[in-house]
Amino acid sequence: MLEIDDIYVTRVQVDDPEGIIGHLGEDLQVVAAECWRPVAFSAVLARRAFKRGTNHARTLSGEFLLRLAGTLQIKEAIENVGVKPGPNYAVAFGEKGLEKLNRLGLKELEPIDCDDDTAKRFFEKAALVEVL
């Protein structure tokens, strides 16, 4: 598990996405992504947007989804990066989110790093939300 300023990122196996959706919220999100760097970057950008008051979503986890998907439409973000069966990344904001994640009992997997070109593509998409 990776920890950055009270944000926890880990790769998990999700067998039943519908079964965990009700446990997600302001402080916990699970997303389908290729590698960990864009997930961590988007989480940090979301937290920063809330601190600055430049957020587009009403919740921190919603802002995180928007930034990871590179869109201002939450429905589109969920369709593009929302939890799917198989390996996903879980992002817990703070201790409360981490406690929720631990209660889900998801099997933790080895995180995957992406090559610099793939990461750069995601960074650019996430940063777009900042300027829109």
52 — phi, psi (to 5°)? Answer: -85, -15
- pLDDT at residue 73, as a whole number: 94
Please give the angle made by the CA atoms of 4, 125 and 77, to the nearest 5 degrees: 85
User: What CATH number did the domain enclosing 26 receive?
Assistant: 3.30.2380.10
Query: How many domains are there within the chain?
Result: 1
Angle formed at CA 111 by CA 126 and CA 52, multiple of 5 degrees: 30
pLDDT computed for residue 118 by the predictor: 85
pLDDT of residue 12: 98
**What number is the average pLDDT over the span 115-124?**
85
Domain containing 112: what range?
2-131
Residue 127 pLDDT > 80: no
Query: Which 8-state DSSP code applies to residue 35?
Result: -
Q: pLDDT-based confidence at 31, cuts 50/70/90?
A: very high
Lowest mean per-residue pLDDT among 26-30, 67-71, 125-129: 125-129
CA dihedral 82, 83, 86, 92 (to 10 degrees): 120
Sign of CA dihedral 84, 30, 75, 23: positive
For the full predicted model, state whether its pTM sits above 0.85: yes
